[in-house]
Copies of this chain bind each other. A is one copy, B any other.
Amino acid sequence: MSNAVVVGAGLAGSLVSVYLARRGFAVRVLERREDPRTPGTREAGRSINLGLSQRGIVALREIGLLDALKPLTVPMRGRVVHSPDGALRFQPYGTDDDQILHSVLRHDLNVALIDEAEKQGVEFLWRHKVVGVDRDKPSVATDAGEFEADLVIGADGAFSAVRTHLGRGRRTTLHQEYLEWGYKELLIPVGDDGEPRTELRALHVWPGDDGLIVAHPNADGSLTATMFLPFEGPHGFAGLDTPARVREFLARRFPDTLTLIPDVVEQFLAHPPANLVTIRTAPWHSSTGGGRGVVLLGDAAHAVYPFFGQGMNAAFEDCSVLDRCLAAHPHDLPKALAAFEDARRPHTDVLAELSRRNFVELRAKLRSPLFLARKKADLVLHRLFPRSWVPLYTLIAHTTTPYGEALARSKRQDRLLATTTALLCLIAATSSRRLGRLVGRLIAPPRGRRQVR
């Protein structure tokens, strides 16, 4: 039996350990921190809840954990967009009932994965800090001993120690970039009447060029809001340093947060802002002549900005793709790792770019009439031609089409849409009112879907 050492017991590490155990590996997981199931542990600076989309769902279904997780999640059927004037607008994610996201607490999901891994015989070693990786054995040296394995997996996040050691002394590409914006998390508590203070079954977005908020619902009726602001400037985290300044800023930019979060000013000032990093690296793996190897996955291989909500989903899809590569090359680990990197890296590179672009979209375009018209046209066309016309967001969030193929397909659709729009304009400008009315009906959304439910 082959054995594997996984570094990192976060979401990616605990999920891949389940896949490996099911494939017959003897698996040990090394984790720097305390067991998250220990009462009183609390991860600082990590986002509290996450949006599970199709790629993540498929992976959880593959390991048979999806149904057990369902009660812990809240479905999100679209976005509720909050305007500074207090107006709310609902934008459905898609046309089908399965085009929904599921909000879940990072902690709940992680514990479920660790429990499942232990059921499969995985051994977790907590409080083991990596101090070195020997990629020629391979082995992982920690402050509590050295661990040799046939397969070492670096699932230790954006600041991966495995990545650092894997890259030493060879031609390693590394792109690391921080956004000049950070974030703080704010809890929208359940109302005094025990009911949610706003629509629960949706993702909430407060767009804006100079600051934005995204909020996910929790199963207990509360929501967790993440406020993104520039670090510097009078209206950045640096300048918003007194209760008066914070209150004035929120009243002007995000007025409804003052009623949704009674202690919003205190919450805002309680913690320092967290950073947002994007990491791109190559190669992801190394192999020994003896058929062993080291490989990175998840944030260790490709940390992205959170604006497409795909960080965890991409990490889960990594685990699924790696599992398929191990199945395709059962007696050739180096080949399996090379196949994994070849199959996967081009697509996560695209995801990094898409996540960067969605930052612009969330900040500004969600309020632009032109952009909203485009979104609407996309959904109308998707309704008319459900198979052949699929908007980019739908491809990314609600399918498992590889990221790169999704982008390529969306570009083709963009070109087609430009031509179609030109033709429609021509029709509208030159032909009878009857034709105009027909076109009008095609473009208008069906009644009753514009309201926030």
Contact B174 A174 (CB under 8 A): yes
Which of A17-25, A97-105, A175-183, A294-302 is found at the contact surface with chain B? A175-183
Contact A176 B178 (CB under 8 A): no
CB nearest to A281 among chain B residues: B176
Identical chains bound together, number: 2
- Inside 8 A of A178's CB, which chain B residues have their CB? 171-173
Contact B172 A174 (CB under 8 A): no
Per-residue B-contact encoding for A211-249, CB less than 8 Å = 1, 0 else: 000000000000000000001000000000000000000
**Once the chains are docked, how many angstroms separate the CA of A171 from the CA of B171?**
24
- The residue in A171, A177, A178, A277 that gathers the most chain B C-beta atoms within 10 A of its C-beta is A171
| Residue A275, interface by CB 8 Å | yes
Contact A176 B177 (CB under 8 A): no
CB nearest to A167 among chain B residues: B176
Query: How far apart are A179's CB and chain B's nearest CB, in angstroms?
Result: 8
**Once the chains are docked, how many angstroms separate the CA of A277 from the CA of B174?**
11
Of the residues B172, B180, B277, contact of A176 by C-beta under 8 Å: B172
Residue positions of A touching B, CB distance < 8 A: 171-178, 180, 231, 275, 277
16 pairs, CB–CB < 8 Å, chain A vs chain B: A171-B178, A171-B180, A171-B231, A171-B275, A171-B277, A172-B176, A172-B178, A173-B176, A173-B177, A173-B178, A174-B174, A174-B175, A174-B176, A175-B175, A175-B176, A175-B177
Known: A173-B177, A174-B175; 4 extra A-B contacts, CB below 8 A, are: A171-B180, A173-B178, A174-B174, A174-B176
